[in-house]
Amino acid sequence: MYNFVKYKMVCSTCFDTSERKVQFYYGNLRVWEYNVGDCLIWGDPQEGDRAQRHVVVSGVSTCPKCRQTSSFEIVVKDGRIESVNLSSGRYLFVGDDEYFIVLSSELPG
Ligand SMILES: [Zn+2]
């Protein structure tokens, strides 16, 4: 399964303003609906690890009006959704199973 984070935006294709449900695969995967600022829920089945302190998660959503699909970068810091933005192209999610990029993890020990 997957989760959602709610994000209000203007579609770049049809200029419709809507609250998108941006789908992502990170944390406990049970179709949770988050807002920016929420802390992620953990536990199996899960993607990623709560020890990952700073992560960029790949997200996707479709415009409810024109069906245009957009990609997003969801920044998770210390287990909390810090921001949602349209893809900047700065992070490259390679392959079908790479849903997130770890920028910083807890040091072992
Ligand atoms: Zn649209």
- Kindly report the backbone phi and psi dihedral angles of residue 43, in degrees, each rounded to the nearest multiple of 5, phi listed first: 130, 155
The pLDDT of residue 105 is: 81
Distance 99 CA to ligand 1 centre (A): 24
Distances in whole angstroms, Cα of residue 83 to Cα of each of 13, 46, 57, 65, 80: 23, 21, 10, 24, 9
65 vs 74: CA distance, rounded Å: 23
At 40-53, the pLDDT tens digits run 999 999 999 999 99
| Domain boundary assignment for the chain | 3-105
The pLDDT of residue 93 is: 85
Spans in the chain with pLDDT lower than 50: none
Surface-to-core class of residue 57, CB atoms within 10 Å of its CB (0-12 exposed, 13-18 middle, 19+ buried):
buried
107 vs 109: CA distance, rounded Å: 6
Distance 105 CA to ligand 1 centre (A): 37
The pLDDT of residue 25 is: 96
17, two tokens: 């303003």
